[in-house]
Amino acid sequence: MVKMSNLVDQIERYLKKILQDTSQGYVVIQRSGLASQFECAPSQINYVLSTRFSVEQGYLVESRRGGGGYLRIVKLGIETPDYLDDFITNLSDGELTQNAAEGLIKRLAEEELLSKREAMLVRTVMDRETLSLQIPERDRLRARLMAAVLRTLTREDF
| Weakly modelled stretches of the chain, pLDDT under 50 | 1-2
Does the pTM exceed 0.75? Answer: no
pLDDT at 157: 57
pLDDT digits (tens, 9 = 90+) for 38-83: 999 888 888 898 888 887 777 888 887 766 568 888 887 665 556 6
Burial of 100 (0-12, 13-18, 19+ CB in 10 A): buried
**97: phi then psi, degrees, rounded to nearest 5:** -75, 165
State the span(s) of the chain assigned CATH 3.30.56.130.
4-75
pLDDT at 99: 86
State the span(s) of the chain assigned CATH 1.10.1200.150.
81-154
How much of the chain exceeds pLDDT 70, in percent? 86
Fold of 81-154: 1.10.1200
For domain 4-75, the CATH class is alpha beta
pLDDT at 128: 93
